[in-house]
Amino acid sequence: MEALIALIIGVLTACGVYLALRARTFPVVIGLTLLSYAVNLFLFVTGRLTVGQPAVISDQAVGYTDPLPQALVLTAIVISFGMTAFIIMLALKARAELGTDQVDGRLDGGDAPNERGPERGRQHG
Amino acid sequence: MNLLFVVLIPFIGAGLAAWVSRFGRLQSAWMAGGVALASLIALAPSVTAPFLGETLVQRIPWIPALGLDLAFRLDGLGLLFALMILGIGLLVILYARYYLAERDCMGRFYGYLLLFMGSMLGIVLSENLILLLMFWELTSLSSFLLISYWQHREDARTGARMALAVTGLGGLAMLGGFVLLGEMVGSYDLSVVLASGDLIRSDPLYTPMLVLILLGAFTKSAQFPFHFWLPHAMAAPTPVSAYLHSATLVKAGVFLLARLFPVLSGTTEWSVLVMGAGLSTLLIGAYFALFKHDLKGLLAYSTISHLGLITLLFGIGTPLAAVAGVFHIINHATFKASLFMAAGIIDHECGTRDMRRINGLWRYMPYTGTLAMVAAAAMAGVPLFNGFLSKEMFFGETVTFSANHTWEWLLPSAVVVAGIFAVAYSLRFIHDVFFNGDPVDLPKTPHEPPRWMKVPVEILVAICLLVGMLPAFTVAPLLSVAATGVLQSAPPDYDLAIWHGVNAALIMSIAASVGGILLYVGRRPLFNLATKLEGLLDARAVFDWLLKGLLALAGAVTRTLDTGSLQRMLLVFILSALTLGTVGFLGGDAPLTGDHDLLPADAVSLLVTIALITVALWTVILHRRRLTALIVMGALGLLVSLIFVKFSAPDLALTQLSVEVVTIVLLLLALYFLPQHSPSESSRARRIRDIGVAGLAGGGAAALTWSVLTRPYESIADFFLENSVPGGGGANVVNVILVDFRGFDTLGEISVLALAGLGIYAMLKDLRLPGPTCDARGRPWNWDMHPTIMAALTRLLLPLALLVSAFIFLRGHNLPGGGFIAGLITAIALIMQYLANGVEWTHSRMTSNLHPVIGAGLMIGLLTGLASLVFGYPFLTSAFTHVHWPVIGDFELASAIAFDLGVYLVVVGATLLILVHLGLMHHASHPDEPEPSAPNHA
């Protein structure tokens, strides 16, 4: 089971990193979302894998999993959402101000022509 | 505890003084005066203590683990400085009320001034070295604000920046020195430090510690070679200069020398460094003062020179020299403050400070002239004025010191030269301004200032005279206790009389006076020479050069690393992380696999893993078709929440599930404004490189996870599991940790979420983006109205969804659930209304102003925490009780649920704020929405 989890985290990280290295904002945001899945999972499993023993105190329970990483990850999930939201808004803002969604430092490129054309027209019109 | 209030009152008053300025220009002056007076009154009960030989120490524990207490101390030295800061502060407040022009903002001025006053009081009353340093840095900051008060003036801004850079760097050095000192002694308390002189002086780290502390003192007190910031600080309004450069800011450095005198002095290093700096500053300041044409420039350099004199006295290191140093601190504060105020009056009345134009003012303002003459005479060291007494002691001390050294004539001659210049520049201040022909082309016709503007000068001049003529009846007791405070023992015998008979000091005084008069009379050729030499000894040029170099270096580094490409930055970041991880792993000899028992894998887990990996890879492969990739990614979030379910984390699964919904809605809304496709831009080589980097990163993460999971570990979980029910009153340990054990963290986290929400709101405000006119395949955008069945269904579902959310919220303390999850569910339920019914329909039924919701949530969280303080428990301690309700039965009431309510409100508010405003942008993006062409409408 540990190997499967390690594999999942590895694949999520690799996919996240690959997407984060793309030149447009949207794939970067998706990549960061994948990375945050990986990070949250990693943090969660540092409490080791326990099956069927939630940390809810009761008389019938035979044991409990470690609640601390869970508490950390719970807030981390919510904060990741806030971060994703913030970044995607930055992307929108950048597109409004710069007229492009590129993040590779080339400001001359602009959007692909088939999409840029009608939008440009709309902006001026 | 009155010392705490002495320091605290000006800080509170600073806000008040700024605030009351909205009720009228002069209100802040009254308020500032009242605040300074209140602080003085708070000091009053303790004033007698130093005279009785007591050292008051008042202490409130703050961070005891770091040796940092809110500890204050009042001995003779502290009392002297506190009286000067508050007394001269009051006079400056009165003076500034008449000095500031109509267009100057009084509230800001007095706010800054009080801030500075509080910081200075903090320095002189601190018992703890770290606390002292904090106030020290606060004086740097508040003096920066004061110097740059006239923000529209370039010279004010550069002058303030220079002062901040120099004194701030000095403060940094001093922090290092204090840490060394504290480590040597084992305590940061001054009482302990002051009693460990021998221990400190014999420490091997004595010299570096001394150098660091002296760097702090010298930069603050404008000692050579750090003197150059002081003249540039003259761009400040004159009341500020009168305050900062007489009794306060620059005196902080010499205060520190006096404060640590008993433990640091008495070594060769001390003598060489302190005397060297003092003597060179004394001479350089006196030389430049004579040749300045700017009235305040002259005073600025004379201040530098007098600070050098005081430093030199402490450098000599004998107890008697220290007494003379303290005495000169008092005298310099009085005459220099009055001189600055007189210069301010002249500037105010003439409209210029250039002494080449200001001449013959005696005819226009004889009264101010008389006051200025007295003060200048004190500065020159003329008998019957206070400056004479301390200067005589100073001359005497240099002779005594030199008697035991080779080249015994050197030091006395040097100080006589400085004395000659001091007499000459004092003479120039009077003769050039009040006599010497007629005014040249003044912007205004000068006349006497308003009555009350002269009062502060009169008081200070009266002190100069009284101390000068009747020292034994005026200053003697205060000087005695202050000297005791410096030496930490009874001071040696000294005589404050004016006439000591003919001795070396008297002869030096006479020589200085005669030489000064001769120098001034024969000044013409010297002025010509000085004009030629000007610019050769400009420390500012060096400072500018250094600063420019530093900025250029920083710019070059930034430009090399940051080319504006996020890809490049991320690549650097990922590669650095990979390198560090690899080096760390290869550097150790730990095996990859630990010896923890492994869980067997089952078929379902295997299936989920395969599904997850497939979906993740699909997301990457499809990423250029953005909408598809986004939907595929949604499945990924659901699979992750399955993992949480499997491994005993129902709370996480619920959270992940609801966050996933919100995230996908958010990204869908955002995608509307972005291109629907990513063009294929990366070259093949680029893609292969990225795949390589991604593979390495993924491999690293997997290896790390594997080695963590295969190792046994110890957890602090037992504490939480044991105390959750008895201590927190909840069976769901995860929730109890969030709202109780680690409630403070959660408060921080909801603050972050609130900030993210508000930040996004700020970004989206006024943002206009065009929406697409056609979809990814070129089909025209569909303007159909919202589907009726879905609209009706969501309306029906809303109460149910809210009920579920309330249920999840209430049971959260004992079963999986809680504020975070309930908040997300509520947000989703409300978002559904927007999605299904449209923005307008929903807005007519629900407010779009969500700021109060976020604010209320944060407020509830904070107040719940503060409530426990009221009951005498630490911040955010929770309380719970079981009440019996008829019919319903036992019901638990925990204060943590109030905190959870705060969490709930912030989550709802922030999530809705983000999504609703993004939705509103859609609405704005096509105002010409073709409503008539929508047949399904209504």
Q: How many CB atoms lie within 10 A of CB B121?
A: 28
Q: Are B850 and B913 spatial neighbours (Cβ–Cβ below 8 Å)?
A: yes
Rounded average pLDDT over B703-730: 86
Helix axes B386-403, B410-434, angle to 10 degrees: 160
Q: Are B107 and B17 spatial neighbours (Cβ–Cβ below 8 Å)?
A: yes
The pLDDT mean for chain B works out to 88
How many Cα atoms within 13 Å fall on the side-chain side of residue B614?
A: 8
Among B597, B618, B665, B721, pick the best mutation site for testing chain A contact (most A Cβ within 10 A): B721
In this structure, is residue A119 part of a structural domain? no
- The answer on pLDDT for B536 being more than 70 is no
Share of chain B above pLDDT 70, in %: 96
**Nearest chain A residue (CA) to B675:** A115
Inter-chain CB proximity A10 and B659 less than 8 Å: no
- The answer on pLDDT for B782 being more than 70 is no
Inter-chain CB proximity A6 and B706 less than 8 Å: yes
pLDDT of residue B596: 82
In this structure, is residue A44 part of a structural domain? yes
User: B329: exposed, middle or buried (C-beta count within 10 Å: 0-12, 13-18, 19+)?
Assistant: buried
pLDDT of residue B718: 86
Rounded average pLDDT over B58-67: 83
Inter-chain CB proximity B678 and A22 less than 8 Å: yes
- Name the helix (H) or strand (E) containing B57: strand B56-63
Backbone conformation region of residue B779, classed left if phi is above 0, alpha if psi is from -120 to 50, else beta: beta
- The answer on pLDDT for A125 being more than 60 is no
Give the gap in angstroms from C-alpha A44 to the nearest C-alpha of chain B: 9
Q: Average the pLDDT over each of B241-245, B636-640, B897-901 and give the range with the smallest value.
A: B897-901
pLDDT of residue B935: 40
Inter-chain CB proximity B636 and A37 less than 8 Å: yes
pLDDT of residue A120: 39
Give the gap in angstroms from C-alpha A85 to the nearest C-alpha of chain B: 7
Chain B residues within an 8 Å CB radius of A12: 612, 616, 698, 701
What does each C-alpha distance from B828 to A17, B241, B757, B899, B915 come to in angstroms? 30, 60, 16, 22, 10
In this structure, is residue A21 part of a structural domain? yes
- The answer on pLDDT for B534 being more than 80 is no
- The answer on pLDDT for B448 being more than 70 is yes
Q: How confident is the model at residue B886 (pLDDT cuts 50, 70, 90)?
A: low
What does each C-alpha distance from B154 to B148, B150, B162, B608 come to in angstroms? 9, 9, 12, 66
Q: How confident is the model at residue A56 (pLDDT cuts 50, 70, 90)?
A: confident
Please tell me chain B's helix, strand, coil percentages from 3-state DSSP, rounded to the nearest 5. Answer: 70, 5, 25
Inter-chain CB proximity A81 and B619 less than 8 Å: no
Give the span between the Cα atoms of B854 and B912, in whole angstroms. 10
3-state SS assignment for residue B884 = strand
Q: Are B382 and B513 spatial neighbours (Cβ–Cβ below 8 Å)?
A: yes
Size of interface A-B (CB pairs under 8 A): 326
Rounded average pLDDT over B646-660: 91
Which residue, B811, B73, B867, B95, is CA-closest to B450? B95
Tell me the residue range of the domain where A32 lies.
Answer: 2-51+64-102
Chain B residues within an 8 Å CB radius of A123: 770
Q: Average the pLDDT over each of B268-282, B656-670, B882-896 and give the range with the smallest value.
A: B882-896
Inter-chain CB proximity A46 and B644 less than 8 Å: no
DSSP state letter for B63: E
For chain A, what is the total number of helices (H) and then of strands (E)? 4, 0
- The answer on pLDDT for B930 being more than 70 is no
Give the span between the Cα atoms of A79 and B938, in whole angstroms. 40
Inter-chain CB proximity B691 and A85 less than 8 Å: no
pLDDT tens digits, residue range B847-858?
778 889 999 999
How many residues would you count in chain A?
125
Facing B570 at nearest CB: one of A20, A26, A46: A20
Give the span between the Cα atoms of B906 and A81, in whole angstroms. 14
What does each C-alpha distance from B318 to A54, B392, B401, B491, B616 come to in angstroms? 74, 16, 8, 11, 79
What are φ and ψ of residue B930, in 5° steps? -75, 80
Question: What does the DSSP assignment read for B277-302?
Answer: HHHHHHHHHHHHHHH--BHHHHHHHH
Give the span between the Cα atoms of B40 and B58, in whole angstroms. 17
What residues of chain B, 385 to 404, have a C-beta less than 8 Å from chain A?
none
Chain B residues within an 8 Å CB radius of A94: none
- The answer on pLDDT for B8 being more than 90 is yes
- Name the helix (H) or strand (E) containing B69: strand B68-74
Number of compact structural domains in chain A? 1
Q: Are A14 and B697 spatial neighbours (Cβ–Cβ below 8 Å)?
A: yes
Inter-chain CB proximity B630 and A105 less than 8 Å: no
Inter-chain CB proximity B673 and A23 less than 8 Å: no
User: B649: exposed, middle or buried (C-beta count within 10 Å: 0-12, 13-18, 19+)?
Assistant: buried
Q: Are A21 and B694 spatial neighbours (Cβ–Cβ below 8 Å)?
A: yes
3-state SS assignment for residue B452 = helix
In this structure, is residue A69 part of a structural domain? yes
Give the CATH number of the domain where residue A27 resides.
1.10.287
Cα B582-B585-B591 angle, rounded to 5 deg: 140
pLDDT tens digits, residue range B566-579?
888 889 899 999 99
pLDDT tens digits, residue range B360-383?
888 888 999 999 999 999 999 888
Give the span between the Cα atoms of B675 and A111, in whole angstroms. 8
Q: How confident is the model at residue B537 (pLDDT cuts 50, 70, 90)?
A: low
In this structure, is residue A95 part of a structural domain? yes
| Residue B74: strand pairing partners | B56
Give the span between the Cα atoms of B805 and B75, in whole angstroms. 63
Q: Average the pLDDT over each of B144-148, B443-447, B620-624 and give the range with the smallest value.
A: B443-447
Chain B residues within an 8 Å CB radius of A53: 648
Give the span between the Cα atoms of B336 and B341, in whole angstroms. 8
pLDDT tens digits, residue range B22-47?
888 888 899 999 999 999 999 999 99
Rounded average pLDDT over B643-654: 91
Which residues 6+ apart lie within 8 Å of B634 measured at CB? B660, B664
Q: Are B73 and B190 spatial neighbours (Cβ–Cβ below 8 Å)?
A: yes
What are φ and ψ of residue B648, in 5° steps? 60, 40
Share of chain A above pLDDT 90, in %: 42
What does each C-alpha distance from B210 to B260, B322, B381, B656 come to in angstroms? 10, 18, 32, 57
Rounded average pLDDT over B256-281: 93
Which residues 6+ apart lie within 8 Å of A25 measured at CB? A88, A90, A91, A94, A95, A101, A102, A103, B674
Q: How many CB atoms lie within 10 A of CB B783?
A: 13
Chain B residues within an 8 Å CB radius of A30: 619, 623, 629-630, 633, 667
What are φ and ψ of residue B59, in 5° steps? -135, 130
In this structure, is residue A29 part of a structural domain? yes
pLDDT tens digits, residue range B866-881?
887 777 777 767 777 7
What does each C-alpha distance from A94 to A50, A99, B657, B911 come to in angstroms? 44, 7, 30, 22
Rounded average pLDDT over B319-348: 93
In this structure, is residue A93 part of a structural domain? yes
- Both structure tokens of B611: 């599904």
Give the span between the Cα atoms of B606 and B404, in whole angstroms. 92
